Structure 1
Amino acid sequence: MSIWKSEQSQSPMSDSAPQAPASQSADAVNRLKKIDDDLREVLLRKHNEEPAKSIGLRQKLKDFTGRKGAKSLIAILVALALGWIPLQRLLATTSAEATVNARLINVRAPIDGEVSLIAPTISIGTEVEAGEKLLHITNIRADRGRLDDLRRTINALTTDMHASEKRVAQLKGIEANLVEQRNAFQEGRIKQLEARASELEVQVSSAEAMHEDARQAMERAKKLNVTGSQTIATLLHAERDFKTSQLAIEAAKIRIEGNKIELEAAKKGLFVGDSYNDLPRSAQRLDEIRQQILDASARVEENKGRLTYLEQELATESELFSSHSTSDIAAPVRGRIWDTLTARGEEVRTGQDLLRILDCAGAVVTATVSESVYNKLWVGQPAQFRLRGERKDYSGRVVGLTGLTAAGSNFAIEQTALTREPYHVTIAVPALAERQECEVGRTGQVTFDTSASAERGTNIKTADTTARRS
Structure 2
Amino acid sequence: MIWNHRVTRITIGLVLLAVAIVVLLPGLTGFTSLDGTVNARFAVVNAPIDGMIAGDPLRVGAPVKEGQTLAEINNPRVNRAILASLQADQNTARDSVAALQKERDELTQLRDQLATRLEVYKNTTIANLEREVEILRKRVAVSQAQDLVAQVDLNRRLDLESKGILTQRMVDAARAAGAVTGGEVEISNLTVDQLQQRLDAVRQGIFVFGDGQNDVPYSRQRQDEVIVRINDLNSRIAENQTRATEVGKQLAQEENRIHSLESAAAIAPFDGVVWSRNIVNGSNVVLNNELMRVLDCRELYVDILVPEVDYDEIYPGLAAEVRLFGRADVFNGEVISVRGSSAVIETDSFAATQPASTQRSARIRVRLEPSFLNGDFGNFCQVGRTVQVRFSKNGVGFDSAGLSKWVKSLWFSIF
Q: TM-score range by the shorter chain?
A: 0.7 to 0.9
Superposition deviation, residue 153 in structure 1? 0.8
Q: Does 1:153 align with 2:89?
A: yes
Relative CO higher for 1 or 2, CA cutoff 8 Å, sep ≥ 6? Answer: 2
Superposition deviation, residue 385 in structure 1? 4.2
Among 315, 325, 332, which residue is 1:394 paired with? 332
* Residue type of the alignment partner of 2:300: A
Among 90, 95, 102, which residue is 1:166 paired with? 102
Q: For the residues of structure 2 that align with 1:319 and 1:159, how far apart are their CA atoms?
A: 25
User: What corresponds to 1:24 in structure 2?
Assistant: 18
Equivalent residue runs for 1:16-415 within 5 Å: 23-24=17-18, 87=25, 91-117=29-55, 119=57, 122-274=58-210, 276-378=213-315, 380-388=316-324, 389=327, 391=329, 393-399=331-337, 401=339, 403-405=341-343, 407-410=345-348, 411-415=350-354
Superposition deviation, residue 242 in structure 1? 0.7
Q: What is the identity percentage for the equivalent residue pairs of Structure 1 and Structure 2?
A: 26
* TM-score, normalization by structure 2: 0.78
Superposition deviation, residue 87 in structure 1? 4.7
User: What corresponds to 1:58 in structure 2?
Assistant: none
Q: For the residues of structure 1 that align with 2:328 and 2:173, how far apart are their CA atoms?
A: 154
Structure 1 pair 284/98, CA: closer, same or farther in 2 (3 Å)? same
Q: For the residues of structure 1 that align with 2:360 and 2:17, how far apart are their CA atoms?
A: 24
Structure 1 pair 327/420, CA: closer, same or farther in 2 (3 Å)? farther
Deviations 1:105-145 (A, max 9, x none): 322334332222365xx211111222222222233333322
Q: For the residues of structure 2 that align with 1:230 and 1:213, how far apart are their CA atoms?
A: 18
* TM-score, normalization by structure 1: 0.70
Q: For the residues of structure 2 that align with 1:271 and 1:402, how far apart are their CA atoms?
A: 107
Structure 1 range deviating more: 282-291 or 424-433: 424-433
Superposition deviation, residue 212 in structure 1? 0.5
Q: For the residues of structure 1 that align with 2:17 and 2:108, how far apart are their CA atoms?
A: 115
Q: For the residues of structure 1 that align with 2:16 and 2:39, how far apart are their CA atoms?
A: 33
| Larger proportion of helix | 1
Q: For the residues of structure 1 that align with 2:66 and 2:340, how far apart are their CA atoms?
A: 31
Q: For the residues of structure 2 that align with 1:385 and 1:267, how far apart are their CA atoms?
A: 111
Q: Which protein is bigger by CA-based radius of gyration?
A: 1
Q: For the residues of structure 1 that align with 2:285 and 2:37, how far apart are their CA atoms?
A: 35
Structure 1 pair 187/370, CA: closer, same or farther in 2 (3 Å)? same
Q: For the residues of structure 2 that align with 1:95 and 1:372, how far apart are their CA atoms?
A: 13
Q: Does 1:426 align with 2:369?
A: no
1:383–1:398 CA contact under 8 A, matched in 2 = no
Other structure's SS at 2:336 match? strand
User: What corresponds to 1:441 in structure 2?
Assistant: 384
Structure 1 pair 397/425, CA: closer, same or farther in 2 (3 Å)? closer
Q: For the residues of structure 2 that align with 1:442 and 1:245, how far apart are their CA atoms?
A: 140
Q: For the residues of structure 2 that align with 1:305 and 1:281, how far apart are their CA atoms?
A: 36
User: What corresponds to 1:45 in structure 2?
Assistant: none
* Residue type of the alignment partner of 1:301: A
* Residue type of the alignment partner of 1:124: V
Other structure's SS at 1:93 match? strand
Structure 1 pair 199/233, CA: closer, same or farther in 2 (3 Å)? same
Other structure's SS at 1:350 match? coil
Deviations 1:245-265 (A, max 9, x none): 111111111112112211221
Structure 1 pair 296/25, CA: closer, same or farther in 2 (3 Å)? same
Other structure's SS at 1:386 match? strand
Deviations 1:8-33 (A, max 9, x none): xx9xxxxxxxxxx9952898xxxxxx
CA RMSD, Structure 1 to Structure 2 (Å): 3.3
2:37–2:302 CA contact under 8 A, matched in 1 = yes
* Residue type of the alignment partner of 1:168: R
1:386–1:392 CA contact under 8 A, matched in 2 = yes
Structure 1 pair 348/229, CA: closer, same or farther in 2 (3 Å)? same
* Residue type of the alignment partner of 1:162: A
Other structure's SS at 1:431 match? coil
Q: For the residues of structure 1 that align with 2:31 and 2:290, how far apart are their CA atoms?
A: 42
* Residue type of the alignment partner of 2:100: S
* Residue type of the alignment partner of 2:375: Q
2:29–2:392 CA contact under 8 A, matched in 1 = no
Superposition deviation, residue 211 in structure 1? 0.7
Structure 1 pair 195/106, CA: closer, same or farther in 2 (3 Å)? same
How many residues matched?
373
Superposition deviation, residue 279 in structure 1? 2.6
Consecutive unaligned residues in structure 2, runs of 5 or more: 1-10, 395-415
Other structure's SS at 2:233 match? helix
Deviations 1:27-76 (A, max 9, x none): 8xxxxxxxxxxxxxxxxxxxxxxxxxxxxxxxxxxxxxxxxxxxxxxxxx
1:118–1:134 CA contact under 8 A, matched in 2 = no
* Residue type of the alignment partner of 1:386: V
* Residue type of the alignment partner of 2:250: E
2:304–2:364 CA contact under 8 A, matched in 1 = yes
Structure 1 pair 450/253, CA: closer, same or farther in 2 (3 Å)? farther
* Residue type of the alignment partner of 1:147: L
Q: For the residues of structure 2 that align with 1:373 and 1:168, how far apart are their CA atoms?
A: 94
Other structure's SS at 1:182 match? helix
